[in-house]
Amino acid sequence: MTGLVRLLAGYYRIRVRGAAPELALYRLTQAHIPFWDIVRTDDFASDISIRRKDWDQVTAIASRVQEGADLLGEHGLLCHFRGLKKRKLFVLSVLLCLGLAYLLPNFVWCLHVEGNVVVPEQQILRELQELGVGFGTWGPSIVPQDLKNQMLNQVPALEWLTVNQSGGLATVVVRERQPASAIVDRRQVTNLIASRDCIVTKMEVFSGQAVCKTGQSMRAGELLVSGYADWEHCIQATRSLGEIYGRTWRQQRAVIPADWDFQSDSGGTHTRYALLLGRKRINFFQNSGIWYPECDKMVMYRQLTLPGGYSFPLTLVVETARERTVTAGELKQREAEDTLKTGTAAAARSDMVAGEIVREDLKVRRGSGVYELTGVYECHEMVARTAPAILMESEDNK
């Protein structure tokens, strides 16, 4: 600590000259003047370090007992800052930097969202911006409790929210509201029926009584598992549960136009730039946003990312337009087949709760201005569906 104080206050390095430099050092000790770093340079001189304020007293003592003392150099921070009196602009710049270093961390420059899965991050940031929390917001003005109450009203999918600020980074921690599970009435008696015509291939019945077996053909709507199980001495009413798979067939028909408009690159390319700073857009071009009538526009966003993966709200927008020439042409049959098969297969899969397409028998032919696909998809899928059971259904049908 003493060395740090000496460095801050400053000190002199001097040389005491004379026939016996030890006598001068003895006189300084008697006068209670501290000195340190004694170096004997020769028989008639010694170098020591003293405090700046003791210089006059040390020179007086050295003159009385020796030939005198010479100043070798001044050390410490004060001697370095003395020359700043002539560099006022530099001093002002340093003070400005220190002030900015104190103030800037109190503003919000980056926002990072954690804990969101379903709610998009951009939606959360957009709603926060509407509430006054965004790029350049004064951090101490953010009241997490009030902000949470307002955000929960704006985004009902959120259950909890808070904002933790560390310097210029504001971390938005959210917890999403878990969707309530569907209420199942366990007292309701239900059956499992076939969703479409099928041949049963696999049965797993967890509750209820199966009324079909593997390999049996079933019509759409026929009973697969009954909610009333006959145990001879009693009839048990329950909610039927199970998974029943079967082979099904789907008739498909789809058409696509044969005549199309095709685009070709004419060679012309135009690029323009813009800058997004927070919610403000700065365009580096003078014309309007209307491009050429026949062109393809591609927009690339290059956002500034800080170390650690935190995104800074500074984005370079690069818009590129390529001129195209539109010409009429005919769609090739191979392309038409691929498009039709992809679409019908996707439609068949989306219609199944669980399962897969095991075989297809499709034909594509050229008609009057169109390509037409017809055929059958053979599928293996889960065909059981829940339906309410009618009490004493067998008696009601008599």
State the pTM of this model. Answer: 0.51
Question: Smallest Cα–Cα separation from 339: which of 258, 264, 265?
Answer: 258
Tens digit of each residue's pLDDT (9 = 90 or more) over 31-88 = 888 888 888 888 788 888 888 888 888 888 878 776 678 888 877 776 666 666 677 7
Let me know: does 303 contact 314? Beta carbons within 8 Å.
yes
State the Cα–Cα distance between residues 362 and 372, nearest whole angstrom: 10
Mapped onto helix, strand or coil, the DSSP state of residue 1 is: coil
Question: Smallest Cα–Cα separation from 124: which of 168, 167, 162?
Answer: 162
Question: Smallest Cα–Cα separation from 49: which of 88, 26, 76?
Answer: 76
Enter the tokens of residue 51: 């405090």
Question: Whose structure tokens read 């929210």?
Answer: 161
Taking the CA atoms of 333, 337, 338 and 339 in sequence, report the sign of the dihedral they define: positive
CB-based contacts of 288-292 (< 8 A; 24+ apart in sequence): 291/321, 292/268, 292/321, 292/323
Question: Whose structure tokens read 């206050």?
Answer: 9
Query: Phi/psi at 35 (nearest 5 deg)?
Result: -150, 160
Q: Which has more pLDDT, 349 or 269?
A: 349
Query: Mean pLDDT for the chain?
Result: 83
Residue type, 201: T
Range with the lowest mean pLDDT among 2-6, 10-14, 16-20, 258-262? Answer: 2-6
Mapped onto helix, strand or coil, the DSSP state of residue 336 is: helix
